[in-house]
């Protein structure tokens, strides 16, 4: 569930559930993070992933509130934050 320098995948996950889990993990006492994808890092990567998830969630929510379906919003959601991350083409 932890990704570092890689786009996040929610194919079988809940973005809001993921945020709850990340905030819980962040409270634990540790220094190193060994993500499921990406290089070994520190706790700051969890903060980054939380920020990224909120940005994506907010973008999708905005388009949903504008009445767009998932297919219709695909090209309207601002994903520039993720363009330089590994996995962007496959996931977005």
Q: Which long-range CB contacts under 8 A does 52-55 form with residues at least 24 apart?
A: 52/8, 52/81, 52/82, 53/8, 53/15, 53/18, 53/19, 53/22, 54/19, 55/81
Tell me the mean pLDDT in the region 21-26.
92
**Which pLDDT score, from 0 to 100, does residue 3 have?**
81
- Bigger pLDDT: 76 or 68? 68
**Which pLDDT score, from 0 to 100, does residue 5 have?**
79
Tell me the mean pLDDT in the region 70-86.
81
**Which pLDDT score, from 0 to 100, does residue 64 have?**
94
Position 1 pLDDT exceeds 80 = no
Give the residue extent of every domain in the chain: 15-91
Mean pLDDT of the chain: 85
């Amino acid at each position: 569930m932890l990704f570092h320098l890689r786009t996040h995948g929610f194919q079988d996950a809940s973005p809001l559930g993921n945020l709850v889990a990340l905030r819980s993990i962040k409270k634990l006492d540790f220094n190193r993070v060994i993500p499921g994808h990406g290089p070994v890092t520190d706790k700051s990567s969890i903060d980054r992933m939380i920020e990224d998830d909120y940005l994506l969630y907010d973008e999708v929510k905005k388009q949903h509130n504008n009445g767009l379906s998932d297919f219709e919003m695909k090209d309207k959601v601002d994903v520039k934050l993720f363009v330089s991350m590994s996995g962007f083409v496959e996931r977005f």
